[in-house]
Chains A and B, each alone.
Chain A
Amino acid sequence: MMSAAERATTAHQVAGLALVALQRPIPELGTAWDRAAVFLARQAIENAVAAAWLAAGSTKTSLQELDHTTRLRGLPALIGDRSLAEDAGLAWRQASRACHHAANRVPCRPDEIRRWAALADATSGTATNGQDDRSY
């Protein structure tokens, strides 16, 4: 079992895993591997949003009571950057939609996933003043 240090727990780390997933595909997993990067990018954003709430003094328990939509709604006030917060919110919705298994959806492009990962990283960095150590 991996140690806590080995595990990716921060938004920055999870966003990094998304980029790894993009760079090192496993062909036999086919489209499932493509969607792995999307899952990771969405998780990175969710972690970044959670980090922002925790940095603002919320507890893990109270945070569990909030759904993701509510958490995103409070993000602009938490990080003080409305534009970044809105971009992160939009990225989360797009990534969530891409996570749903629908055959009739156009697969996400790598540049979209990279942008989501970058937004997660930026949101987390803004919320924690670059510390990104308030992992959830």
Chain B
Amino acid sequence: MPRQLASVEDEILERLTQPLPAGRRQKRLGPRAQELVMEAFGSTVGTPPADPGEDDSGGGTVRQVRGARLRQLRVRGFRGIGPEVTLDIPASARLILVTGHNGSGKSSLCEALEHLLTGTSRRWDKRSAVWRAARLNVHGDGAERSRIQALFDVDGQAAPLTLTQTWRSDAADDFTLKLGNAPCAPDAGLKGLGWARPIERQRPFLTQNELGSLLESAPSTLFDAIAPILGLQELSDTMAALRAREKDAKQHVLEALRPLAELKEDTARLALTDQRAAEALSLLDLDPVPVGDLEALLLLPAENLDAASKLVVLQQLASLRPPERAACLNLAGIVTEVATRLERTAGTDAAAALRRARLLRQALADHEQAEGPEPCPVCGGRILDEAWTVATRQEIAKLDAEATAAQGAVEQARRAMAAARRLDLRPPEVLAQATGLGLDPDRLAASWAELADRWAAVEELSADDGAPSVEKLLEAAAALESVDLAGACRSLNERAQAEIARMDEAWRPVARRLLEALPGWGTLPEDRKLLADLDEACKWLRKAATDLQEERFRPIAEQVRRNWERLRTTSSVSLEDVFLSGGGTRRSVDLKVAVDGREAKAFAVMSQAELNSLALSLFLPRATVPDSPFRFVVIDDPVQAMDPVKVDGLARLLDEVAAERQVLVFTHDERLVDAVRDLVPDVVIFEVEREQQSRVRVVAQRPAWDRVLDDAMRFARSDADERIKLRVVGGMAREAVEAAIGERVRVEWRNKGATWDQVHAALAGKDLRQRLAVLVAGSLATRARASDDQIIRRWDDRVRRVVAIANSASHDELRGDPAGFVHDARHTVDLIMGRS
């Protein structure tokens, strides 16, 4: 049997973290992709895996009830069953056959158990409402018209687990479920037991009706019916989650990129006339888009554009201001003041004044050397006395002041002219570009040029080192004051501003859209990286899933092949291999078969019986996976069109399955009963019998010979017509002894390796004495005839009498006491069966 499956998360974790074993070709996954895989599992690397026994089929923590074996099934008012009938299964029973003829109610028992656990029946649920609605038995009555109750032995629990389903009407949802004595919602009950998912994935019910239809259905349906036993649903869910995340990421990237083309187109349309658009377009052409640069361009275009760009020029023109009038006026004032000073000092000679003052200082110094008044040494005339001294000193002071004033005025005039030269009154260069932009700057340019010319004239006045003439300076000051650029400049400002506004009107919507798109483009590199990691994780997980699927299906495929080998017996069709292949809509179960060694198409070369056997081979593993909480399998009507040899193989297969779990088989085919009874000494057989008013009885089957002799004894003691009684008792005794001999022969011959066919051929058509001879002969090599001597030697007088009378009972009447004869017949049977 396949080993217990590890949790999918464990397996994936191992593949993610452990060194790659030799031969495994799957490449190591990147760290981020690893995280993505584990995130998809709802976990992280290093976190212990969830309890594999926990049923995650929804709704809170649940206990996991395992090892369930059926102990009792009680049914009333369900389909063919009227009053309550009980099927009590011995605790030790491993293989149970429930037999009964068609319409006896055995299938109703089988369906009742299925209905209790699944809420429906596969036999009915795909049929019309008319079929599905007929659950209630016509003879049911009372408040609770129908009830199904099952007791299960489960692991770790002394008391049986009880599940009860009752309903009052045929409405699909009009039933209640009880777990023990506690009512529960129909689905919550199974969830609470941890059975909700296993009842689907490891469905313990196998009916030929369902299996046959699955075999005939689409390849994907067959795949879906088998694949769940691999326990990879969690992996499928994880892959789905990962793919969903990948899809989201891809969508995110696509949504970020979606406006790019349109924005590029719109931007390109503006790029011819708007440098901002041209710059933006060049940025948009880059991959990834430099979001920071683009944002700077959008928010502060002037700082990020070439100085010669139209917008920058327009902005310069819009903000162009004439030389400040104050500066001009100040300059004019300075010029006027300088002129005034120059005029005031006009006619004075600072140098002459300085020379004279120096001469007078020397004369005064010479006089101070004299001892009193003395005549002027130069002219000898005027007496240089004290009065002269005072007067001379005053003259010296006056001459110094004159020289200083004259020098100051000149100096001030020079400084004023130097300041005026620093004042740039030339027309701004940007004005020259305004013409190209269609802004007509001529008036402003002319005024500016006039100002410049006039100032140039002033500069010419001050070009030499000498002081400018007062008249010229005053003339220049007047010129500066008279030129007014403001009006022309304002006009140009407005035109430039209007052009900017016109450009903005076209640009702003595009810029706004660009700004809106920026956040998406901002995360685009990370999103693309995430997308690449998700793609890597998806591919890795898909490969891991394929590997895991193959690894897990391999032992199951082996089991399927073994099952087929058991069932195919003499069939020339060999099952070479079974694969789960493809994925998505191309998923299928591929069967590789060969007919007498030549490869063939499975379904085309198989008979109906072989197809039935194949279906059973395929689906038995589903019901017997070690993970299943159900330690029972219910098989309904498995024989179908099988020939006796295949029935023999089926019996062996059931015996093998029953070694691991409780196998409950519902069948009407006595060949299977015979075959199983021969093969499995401890088989438990129940008979289902139907009486009037839908009363169904389930009785444990005693051997046929015992039951026949019971009937014979009842006849012997009855008031029946004596002629009938004598003939029937004799016939029944013959029947019982024949049956016992047949059973003994089957067991002994089969133990010696005889086939079912050989046993059948040895007994077919033979009367009692001849059958006894077959038993005595004991082997195929001996002719199936025994002399009376042989019989006499082997058994006693009572046996001989029974054989003699019973063998002739078809031709003559029993003579003597019928009851005594039945006692002798039972003695004979006991001897044959080794019970005496």
Contacts and interface: CB of A to CB of B under 8 A. Distances in A.
Interface of A: 1-2, 6-9, 14, 17, 20-21, 24, 26, 28-29, 32-33, 35-36, 39-40, 42-43, 46-47, 50, 67-70, 99-107, 136
Interface of B: 99-104, 667-670, 673, 687-689, 701, 704, 707-708, 711, 714-715, 718-724, 726-728, 731-732, 735, 739, 764-767, 770, 809-813, 815
A103 B99 contact: yes
Contact of B667 (A43, A104, A107): A104
B722 A105 contact: no
Contact of A105 (B101, B739, B767): B101
B779 to A, nearest CB: 20
A17 to B, nearest CB: 5
Contacts of A40: 724, 727-728, 731
A35 B711 contact: yes
A48 to B, nearest CB: 11
Given A46-B811, A99-B731, A101-B704, A68 B719 contact: no
Nearest to B704: A101
A101 B727 contact: no
Given A67-B766, A104-B667, A47 B727 contact: no
B670 A102 contact: yes
A9 B728 contact: no
Contacts, number: 113
A102 B767 contact: no
Contacts of A136: 811-812
23 contacts: A2-B813, A7-B726, A8-B727, A9-B813, A20-B721, A21-B724, A29-B715, A32-B711, A32-B714, A32-B715, A33-B720, A39-B732, A47-B810, A67-B766, A67-B767, A67-B770, A69-B764, A100-B735, A100-B739, A101-B708, A102-B670, A103-B688, A105-B670
Nearest to B766: A67
Contacts of A20: 721, 724
Contacts of B669: 104
Contact of A47 (B707, B720, B811): B811
A14 B727 CA distance: 9
A36 B811 CA distance: 15
Contacts of B732: 39
A35 B714 CA distance: 13
A104 B810 contact: no
B765 A104 contact: no
B809 A26 contact: no
A85 to B, nearest CB: 16
Contacts of A24: 721
Given A106-B102, A136-B812, A101 B735 contact: yes
Contacts of A42: 731, 810
B767 A101 contact: no
A105 B103 CA distance: 10
A47 B724 CA distance: 15
A104 B670 contact: yes
A69 to B, nearest CB: 3
Given A39-B728, A104-B101, A26 B718 contact: yes
Contact of A36 (B101, B722, B728): B728
B100 A43 contact: no
B765 A68 contact: yes
- Which 4 residue pairs spanning A and B have beta carbons closest together? A69-B765, A103-B687, A39-B731, A32-B711
Contacts of A69: 764-765
B707 A9 contact: no
A28 B812 contact: no
B428 to A, nearest CB: 117
Given A7-B813, A8-B727, A102 B718 contact: no
Nearest to A73: B765
Contacts of A2: 722-723, 726, 813
A39 B714 contact: no
A104 B711 contact: no
Nearest to B770: A67
Contact of B99 (A1, A6, A9, A104): A104
B727 A17 contact: yes
B723 A7 contact: yes
B714 A6 contact: no
Given A29-B711, A36-B724, 11 more contacts: A24-B721, A29-B715, A29-B718, A42-B810, A43-B727, A43-B731, A101-B711, A103-B99, A104-B670, A104-B673, A104-B687
A105 B668 CA distance: 8
Nearest to B707: A101
A87 B689 CA distance: 31
A17 B87 CA distance: 39
B811 A104 contact: no
